[in-house]
């Protein structure tokens, strides 16, 4: 089946279920990699349509399944919000990228990703609804209440009282937060609040020193979707220098 492609301001129209040729094939005009290509619409039940061979990160269905698991509901409220403002295509892209892509990367467990998210949102101080959601999500994943309490205590000691409090009374047999994850939650908080404080270097040096370079990197990348790319790029620049120094000293 031949598909007509119309390119205008980064948009392309696609026939659902049809694989579109990549730019450069069959003399088709170049399509920007972030074009919207018949993305899934939450309310319609359609599945996302991707450009053939696209390097776009993430899988919508996998992301939706994880989002439902985190929120404990089959109908995530955030997608209803996107639908209400007529931005269902953006909502589908966001689910695919964040929950079907970023959350699927190796280097951190799902509970760790929730702990660093909670830490970052608590440090920011204004994302009340999001913090409440991710506290619940962490518990839905089976994250011990003691780990959430320890993460919030770490943030409270530096940034003040989080905007959302919860009953996080741990069970008698729940272990405290391990040392590496404590460092990651602090790194997430400092990354979210600018990524250039001396404390970022402190956490990165200690994490690299205990062989947790990859976990530190994934923490910074993860926080980019909650605190923005400028803050994450600041921390990423510090990671690049400190990790390189650590490898040089180790003879790697």
Higher pLDDT, 61 or 165: 61
Per cent of the chain over pLDDT 70 is 76
Q: Is residue 1 part of a domain?
A: no
Quickly state the pLDDT bin for 174 (edges 50, 70, 90). Answer: confident
End residue of a domain, out of 44, 67, 99: 99
| pLDDT tens figures, 207-226 | 999 999 999 999 999 999 99
For the record, the structure tokens of 28 come out as 């088709």
Q: Is residue 195 part of a domain?
A: yes
| pLDDT tens figures, 77-133 | 999 999 999 999 999 999 999 999 999 999 999 999 999 999 999 999 999 999 999
Q: Is 166 in the same domain as 199?
A: yes
The per-residue pLDDT for 137 is: 95
Q: Is 124 in the same domain as 239?
A: yes
Whether this prediction's pTM lies above 0.85 is answered by no
Q: Are 101 and 58 in contact (CB under 8 A)?
A: yes
Instruction: For the beta carbon of residue 179, count every other beta carbon within 10 angstroms.
Output: 12
Q: Is residue 149 part of a domain?
A: yes
Per cent of the chain over pLDDT 90 is 63
The per-residue pLDDT for 25 is: 36
The per-residue pLDDT for 181 is: 96
Average pLDDT over every residue of 10-18: 34
In degrees and rounded to multiples of 5, residue 26 shows phi and psi of: 55, 25
Q: Is 174 in the same domain as 78?
A: no
Q: Is 34 in the same domain as 156?
A: no
Give the domain range for residue 156.
108-249
Q: How many domains does the chain have?
A: 2
Average pLDDT of the chain is 81
CATH number at residue 115: 1.20.1290.10
C-alpha torsion sign, points 166, 171, 174, 179: positive
For the record, the structure tokens of 18 come out as 């049809």
Q: Is 233 in the same domain as 160?
A: yes
Q: Is 140 in the same domain as 70?
A: no
Higher pLDDT, 171 or 47: 171
Give the side-chain half-sphere CA count within 13 A for 31.
28
Q: Is residue 2 part of a domain?
A: no
End residue of a domain, out of 53, 77, 99: 99
In degrees and rounded to multiples of 5, residue 37 shows phi and psi of: -125, 75
Average pLDDT over every residue of 187-206: 95
The per-residue pLDDT for 173 is: 87
The per-residue pLDDT for 33 is: 35
């Amino acid at each position: 089946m031949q598909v007509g492609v119309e390119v205008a301001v980064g948009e392309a129209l696609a026939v659902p279920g049809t694989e579109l040729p990549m730019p450069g094939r069959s003399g088709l005009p170049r399509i920007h990699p972030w074009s919207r290509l018949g993305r899934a619409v939450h309310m319609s039940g359609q599945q996302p349509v991707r450009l053939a061979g696209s390097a776009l990160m993430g899988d919508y269905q996998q992301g939706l399944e994880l989002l439902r698991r985190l929120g404990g509901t089959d109908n995530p409220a955030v997608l209803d919000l996107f639908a209400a403002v007529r931005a269902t295509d953006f909502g589908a892209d966001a689910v695919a990228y964040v929950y079907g892509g970023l959350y699927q990367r190796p280097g951190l467990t799902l509970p760790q990703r929730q702990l660093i998210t909670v830490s970052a949102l608590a440090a920011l101080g204004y994302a009340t609804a999001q913090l409440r959601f991710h506290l619940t999500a962490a518990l839905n994943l089976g994250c011990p209440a003691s780990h959430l309490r320890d993460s919030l205590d770490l943030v409270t000691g530096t940034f003040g009282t989080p905007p959302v409090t919860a009953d996080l009374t741990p069970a008698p047999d729940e272990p405290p937060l391990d040392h590496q994850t404590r460092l990651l939650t602090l790194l997430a908080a400092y990354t979210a609040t600018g990524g250039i404080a001396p404390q970022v270097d402190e956490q990165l040096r200690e994490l690299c020193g205990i062989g947790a370079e990859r976990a530190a990197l994934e923490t910074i990348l993860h926080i980019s979707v909650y605190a923005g790319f400028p803050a994450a790029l600041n921390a990423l620049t510090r990671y690049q220098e400190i990790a390189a120094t650590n490898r040089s000293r180790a003879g790697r």
